[in-house]
Amino acid sequence: MTEFTCTRCGKCCMSLGRHMHIEKSLSPFSHTLRVLVTGERIPVQVNPAFRDLFLWGTPPAYETGWCPFLRKEGDGTFVCTIYSSRPVICRTFRCCTMRILDEAGSEVGKVKGKSSLSTADPVLRQIWEREVLPSSTLPEAQFARHCRTVLASHGYTCEQFDS
């Protein structure tokens, strides 16, 4: 098990944004943010390093649920422009308990909770359903070992994160 790592795909912030409401703006870089889903109300500041990106980067797609502080960087990854002062829900959020990689090291699947797989890879889906899921009643550590063994036998590797 390793510590969770974020690949900055931005997907969570494209939906969490529905809950991020800018209540008051003191300047373009200083706001009061209310997190509708938790009731948290905090002052947030755009990090100095992200100010140009915040002002001039591609504006977020609010209508589809993007957080107003999410921006896309030149390399295609996404950044939280208020990273240092982001709310608790964002600091503690883990999008998965396991990340599954193919032989080239590309992410092809994510597991939420103990065994809920999200993937667009039909082969991985089939392996999961036939060889992994039937053992999902095993105790957690044993099930984690089982996942690693089965996936490795098909050429996949997995990163399992501390919960």
3-state secondary structure of 162: coil
Distance, in Å, from the CA atom of 91 to the CA atom of 16, rounded to the nearest integer, reads 12
Residue 158 binds ligand SF4 (CB under 6 A): no
Distance, in Å, from the CA atom of 107 to the CA atom of 154, rounded to the nearest integer, reads 15
Name 32's bridge partners.
Answer: 24, 43
Selected from 30, 45, 72, 95, the binder of ligand SF4 by CB under 6 A is 95
Residue 149 binds ligand SF4 (CB under 6 A): no
3-state secondary structure of 30: strand
What is the closest distance, in whole angstroms, from the C-beta atom of residue 3 to ligand SF4 in the complex? Answer: 13
What is the closest distance, in whole angstroms, from the C-beta atom of residue 131 to ligand SF4 in the complex? Answer: 26
- 75 with 126: CB under 8 angstroms? no
Question: Which residues, 6+ apart, have CB-to-CB distance to 68 below 8 Å?
Answer: 17, 20, 22, 60, 62
Kind of pairing between the strands at 116-119 and 41-45: unpaired
Nearer residue to ligand SF4 within complex by CB, 10 or 124: 10
Residue 100 binds ligand SF4 (CB under 6 A): no
**Both tokens assigned to 110:** 């994510």
Q: Binding string, 47-86, against ligand SF4, x = CB under 6 A?
A: --------------------x-xx---------x-x---x
Nearer residue to ligand SF4 within complex by CB, 31 or 151: 31
Selected from 42, 90, 108, 138, the binder of ligand SF4 by CB under 6 A is 90
Residue 35 binds ligand SF4 (CB under 6 A): no
Selected from 16, 98, 100, 151, the binder of ligand SF4 by CB under 6 A is 16
Between the CA of residue 99 and those of 4, 21, 118, what are the distances in Å?
10, 31, 10
Chain contacts with ligand SF4 (rule: CB under 6 A):
6-13, 16-17, 20, 67, 69-70, 80, 82, 86, 90, 93, 95
